[in-house]
Chain A
Amino acid sequence: MIKTQLSARDYEVLSAYLDGQLNSKERARLEARLITTPALQTTLDDLQKTRSLLRSLPRPRRPRSFVLTPQMVTTRQPKPRPLFPAFSLASAVSSLLLVLVMLGDFLGLAPRAVQYAMPEHAQPVALEAPQPEAAVNDAGMAQEAAVVAETMLVTETADVAFAQILPTASEADNLAMGGALPSEEPSAKIVPTEVINEPIELPVEPSPAPVDIVGISASLPIEPITPTIAATQDATTSRALPATATPTMTPEATATPTILTPTVAMPTFTETAEAAALAILLDTATPESTATSPPPTPTVDTDDGEPATAIENQPTSQPEREGDALVSTGRSGTLLTIEIVLGALAVVTGLAAFLLRRGSRA
């Protein structure tokens, strides 16, 4: 059978044959095949013509002499190294640091930040409430008044508060145990009455973000204590407590304005508040973190055993962490600052590198 289709090897052999690059054995074999295979002979003819055509190309006229002058070969000054690599590296490093810090924050320090930052939301409301005592009570959670709170909380206010709370706690528990179901309604109604007093003092502006946060906590039925607080109409604590309680009471939307006010009325604590908000937003995926965030409501701080059962594991560890409160929020604030700085640095250096690269290309 005659092979009409030539292989790549055949073409190579033909090409080498034309250049006289085959040894005698290869040449003899090819010449034998050329007789029996017309396709091979035709291709050889074509390649021969092509080769001749290529070789027929005239040598072009050289436009000038390429003799070198001393100026041409004087060692050219190395171009000033563009700053691009430096900025590029700086951008990469700061981005990496940012990721590391955020990761550390997210994994290790976020829960604390949330835990202690939440009360701070409430704190300003309490501070703006008429009674300073109430403010102190609230500040029990707040880091600023941590020291005062430790003494005050345990001694008078808290005692009074919980002495009165405890009896009612059972009722409130009943309400709360009903979960965020209809039974919540009455308690929620109580709060607004308290709440209404405060919004008068504080400009309430509804904004979507805080509502989201409320929504998150609302979805979790972890607020057995807060109803208790709300239920207690104690003269001293009631005004302060609702403020702190409001974040937890908000579930049913009537109280949403109250949670808004804290965030609005937080000019002094913006940093930590932001950290808390950030942490909450970041932690929404993990139910535990949101679950732990509300417990720091004032009642928890007092060594109350009762809420402990209701709030799973938090209350036991709470008093110990009291002292840490300052540190942890301070840390979260610092972390946030670092994150912002690193983020800004990454953006700036990245942008600089980009611009430099474009500049150097142009």
Chain B
Amino acid sequence: MDEPALIQAACQGDLDSFNHLVLVYQDQVYHQAYRMMGDEAAAADASQEAFISAFHHIRSYRGGSFRAWLLRIVTNACYDELRRRQRRPTTPLEPLDDSGEEIESPRWMVDPQDSPEESLDRSELRQAIEHCLQHLPDDFRAAVLMVDIQGMDYTEAAQALGKPLGTVKSRLARARLRMRDCLKGFWELLPAVFRHDDENREM
């Protein structure tokens, strides 16, 4: 069954058809949620909630990219959860130094209990990127995720974000700029990767 047929069947309340769509998109949906929330449990909750909501509201899907429609639902679920967290702030993840400033280094994040494999897996560079991503404003993060993580073009991203194209462009540019400024704080981790990029550019 192709996607429109599955969607059509799901509109009639066919759960199996909808689950076919779930199987197709659950990785992307979870990835989006994971990058939005920054932790597994919250991402899983948001993803599950998004699929349930999508099934109940599938009649409101009006064509276009079904992926964008799904990602919009999960992103909104993440916004809700993030807003709820803001209302009830928890202890910040970053430890404070003596002057009360957050320690802006990824080194503290390395768990000494991690196995060598995990340490390799969770490389410092990756942690640095994730750290900077989590510190973007939610709207900026959503925009940069749609384009750079999900690989959408601007039109599809605009649909997924429910924003005009100009807004998406602007948010994306500002998000990348902030990411650049944040990553410069971890400059010592970057040269190898950046060199690689530079070489690519030379070619």
Contacts and interface: CB of A to CB of B under 8 A. Distances in A.
B67 interface: no
Interface in A307-350: none
A255 B141 CA distance: 80
Given A60-B30, A67-B23, A49 B15 contact: no
Contacts of A35: none
A12 B170 contact: yes
Nearest to A14: B173
A8 to B, nearest CB: 7
B183 A63 contact: no
A73 B30 contact: no
A51 B172 CA distance: 10
A11 B30 contact: no
A8 B170 CA distance: 8
Interface residues of B, number: 48
Given A57-B126, A62-B30, A51 B194 contact: no
Contacts of B22: 65-68
A16 interface: yes
A73 B15 contact: yes
B129 A53 contact: yes
A22 to B, nearest CB: 10
A219 interface: no
B19 interface: yes
B129 A72 contact: no
Interface string B103-132: 000000000000000000000011001100
Nearest to B28: A59
Interface in B28-53: 29-31, 34-35, 40, 43-44, 47-48, 51-52
B19 A51 contact: no
A265 interface: no
Contacts of B11: none
B159 to A, nearest CB: 15
Interface string A1-24: 000000010011011100101000
B6 interface: no
Contacts of B9: none
B154 interface: yes
Contacts, number: 112
A71 to B, nearest CB: 11
B116 to A, nearest CB: 18
Contacts of B15: 68, 70, 73
A72 B29 CA distance: 18
Q: Mostly helix, strand, loop or mixed at chain A's interface?
A: helix
A56 B197 CA distance: 11
B133 A54 contact: yes
A56 B180 CA distance: 15
Interface stretch (B75-83, B92-100, B145-153): B145-153
Interface in B170-190: 170, 172-174, 176-177, 179-180, 183, 190
Interface string B57-81: 0000000000000000000000000
Contacts of B44: 63-64, 66
Interface string B9-20: 000000100110
Contacts of B176: 11, 15, 47, 50-51, 54
A12 B173 contact: yes
12 contacts: A8-B170, A8-B173, A21-B169, A52-B193, A53-B125, A57-B129, A57-B149, A67-B19, A67-B23, A68-B51, A68-B55, A73-B52
Q: Nearest 5 CB-CB pairs, A to B?
A: A15-B173, A54-B148, A12-B173, A50-B180, A11-B173
Interface of A: 8, 11-12, 14-16, 19, 21, 45-60, 62-68, 70, 72-73
Given A12-B170, A59-B31, 9 more contacts: A11-B176, A49-B193, A51-B176, A53-B183, A56-B129, A57-B149, A58-B126, A62-B30, A73-B55
